[in-house]
Amino acid sequence: PKEYTEKHDWRRYGAHGTSHKYLSEMGMKYLEGVKEPKIISCHIGSGASISAIKNGKCVATSMGLTPLAGIMMGTRTGDLDPSVMNYLCKCTGKSCEEMYQIFNKESGFLGVSGVSNDSRDVIAAANEGNKDAELALRLFNRRVADFIGQYFVRLGGADLIIFSAGIGENSWEFRENICKTIAPALGIEINYELNKTIRGKEALISTPNSKIKVAIIPTDEEVMIARDTFAFYKK
Ligand code: AMP
């Protein structure tokens, strides 16, 4: 109801804006001559969010009032049917606050795998045949791919997909799986051999045939904060 919006001023604030802004500015070098550039930036680390950016302006982002929303993360659920809160409180006798803490701190990779919030441990466990760890990886992959699809539609296409943050910059396995999942619908093609060699550095991993460019760009929130502060000071 509108009353709640007005009285309590709740809204979709999003998060990781500093990172997405940096990434979209850095990504422009791959889009010379493109009119109205459309970028989907994936900041995937312990906290994870995806943004749709048109002409340098963010038009949609996966986090919400708090960073709990959107894709699954190290310990956060990401999006859930809101009824889950009510249902689980009734089933377990836990309070809404206790359940909220579980959604934030005991869910995501940690909750689903039962192994760790660190994606490296989850990959290692899955490689040893741990089914819950495998499920956590599949679920994460599914969520990221679904958001990329959603934002492709939101933007009316896409010119560049960016991978960044701990997982996006370092994990060739996640990048490969996500790209394989979205490739049939979006016509992207990456150089899988090159992808395997990239860790923590910038690279364009799509092939010239790809319908959308795909780049790895290490984020730098500190530089963006400095630039924003300088621009604000100059005003
Ligand atoms: P961040 O919050 O951006 O520092 O990202 C932390 C996440 O990045 C953790 O889940 C780490 O497991 C993951 N990460 C860091 N390095 C790697 C790597 N080499 N391979 C896979 N995941 C990594």
The string of pLDDT tens digits covering residues 149-184 is 999 999 999 999 999 999 999 999 999 999 999 999
Closest ligand 1 atom to Cα of 109: 10
What is residue 112's DSSP assignment? H
Q: Which of 128, 138, 136, 134 is nearest to 110 (CA)?
A: 136
Residues 25, 132: Cα–Cα separation, whole Å: 38
Nearest to residue 49, comparing CAs of 39, 60, 34? 60
Q: 121 CB under 6 A from ligand 1?
A: no
The answer to whether the CB of 23 falls within 8 A of the CB of 56 is: no
Tokens of 130: 């741990």
| C-beta 14 within 6 A of ligand 1 | no
Ligand 1 centroid, distance to 125 Cα (angstroms) = 15
CA–CA dist 88, 211 (Å, integer): 43
Are the CB atoms for 189 and 209 separated by under 8 Å?
A: yes
Instruction: Map tokens 């994870």 to a residue.
Output: 48
Is the Cβ atom of 67 under 6 angstroms away from ligand 1? no
pLDDT for the residue numbered 76: 98
Confidence (pLDDT) at 235: 84
How far is the centre of ligand 1, averaged over its atoms, from the C-alpha of 131 (Å)?
Answer: 21
Query: What mean pLDDT comes out for the span 64-76?
Result: 97
**pLDDT tens figures, 194-215:** 999 999 999 999 999 999 999 9
Tell me the three state secondary structure of residue 200. coil
Which residue bears the tokens 């809204």? 11
Distance CA 96, CA 119 (A): 28
Counting from 1 in the atom list of ligand 1, the atom nearest the Cα of 219 is: 3
119 pocket-lining for ligand 1 (C-beta < 6 Å): yes
- Measured between alpha carbons, how far is 41 from 123 in angstroms, rounded to an integer? 23
Ligand 1 pocket member 170 (CB < 6 A): yes
Q: Does 167 sit in the ligand 1 pocket, CB within 6 Å? A: yes
**How many angstroms does the Cα of residue 122 sit away from the middle of ligand 1?**
11
- The residue behind tokens 């730098």 is 220
Amino acid at 52: A
78 lines ligand 1 (CB under 6 A): no
Tokens representing 186 are 């979006």
User: Could you give the count of Cα atoms lying within 13 Å of 57 in the half-sphere of its Cβ?
Assistant: 3
Answer whether 218 contacts ligand 1 (Cβ < 6 A).
no
**What are the tens digits of pLDDT across the range 105-138?**
999 999 999 999 999 999 999 999 999 999 999 9
Ligand 1 centroid from CA 228, angstroms: 27
The answer to whether the CB of 203 falls within 8 A of the CB of 216 is yes
pLDDT mean over 3-22 = 93
Give the pair of three-digit tokens for residue 203. 């690279």
